[in-house]
Chains A and B, each alone.
Chain A
């Protein structure tokens, strides 16, 4: 069945450093890849997404890259700040399907 694998499960960085989280997906039909941030006890919130017709998208300190051939996509956070500390989830879905598959999450700690 469909699967999204996410690595690492935990990531600790120093404030100001970059953080990279990687995901791979199994369903080649997937064409929409969102990333959600979930702070402790809060609801997941979209931070960035990418569709399969582009290879990279950037929004200020956050960027996402997509490699359709390898079926993997990555989240890049530059100049990390303590408020970036949260759990990040990648996900995959496709037009015409209805299921969104989430990764298991990456807990990011940004040390001041």
Chain B
């Protein structure tokens, strides 16, 4: 079956623009995670969904970041008024439960100019 997919793979935004990043998890996976990975660093937790419920958003760096998973499958991470420090790779991962193997998508590389 298909793995986790993300789109777009690359996004260039001008400072101040809004962006939306999409994640298609593995079908049937209950848990969905978003991470931010800066160059040369480990993935940093942003938020966690169990089905459609956002159970942890403690990693979102500011109120400019918003995530949703309205039907418990596809998820969207939205960043409003992008800033240069938002430049990173945004990874999505899904799993059966939160303490289980996470399957990562290829990531979206966001560059804010």
Contacts and interface: CB of A to CB of B under 8 A. Distances in A.
B55 A102 contact: no
Contact of A103 (B35, B42, B50): B42
B99 A44 contact: no
B50 A98 contact: yes
A99 B49 CA distance: 10
Contact of B45 (A89, A99, A103): A99
B42 A32 contact: no
A98 B48 CA distance: 6
10 contacts: A44-B43, A44-B104, A46-B103, A49-B101, A51-B99, A99-B59, A100-B102, A101-B45, A102-B45, A104-B41
Interface residues of B, number: 25
Contacts of B98: 93, 95, 97-98, 100
Contact of B101 (A42, A46, A98, A102): A46
Given A43-B105, A46-B103, 10 more contacts: A34-B102, A44-B43, A45-B104, A46-B102, A98-B50, A98-B56, A99-B48, A100-B33, A100-B98, A103-B42
Nearest to B101: A46
Interface in B35-87: 35, 40-45, 48, 50, 55-56, 58-59
Nearest to A2: B45
A23 to B, nearest CB: 11
A94 B106 contact: no
A104 B43 CA distance: 8
Interface string A9-39: 0000000000000000000000110101000
Size band of the interface chain A makes with B: 20 to 34
Interface string A56-92: 0000000000000000000000000000000001010
Contacts of A105: 40-42
A93 B56 CA distance: 13
Contacts of B101: 34, 46, 49
Contacts of A6: 42
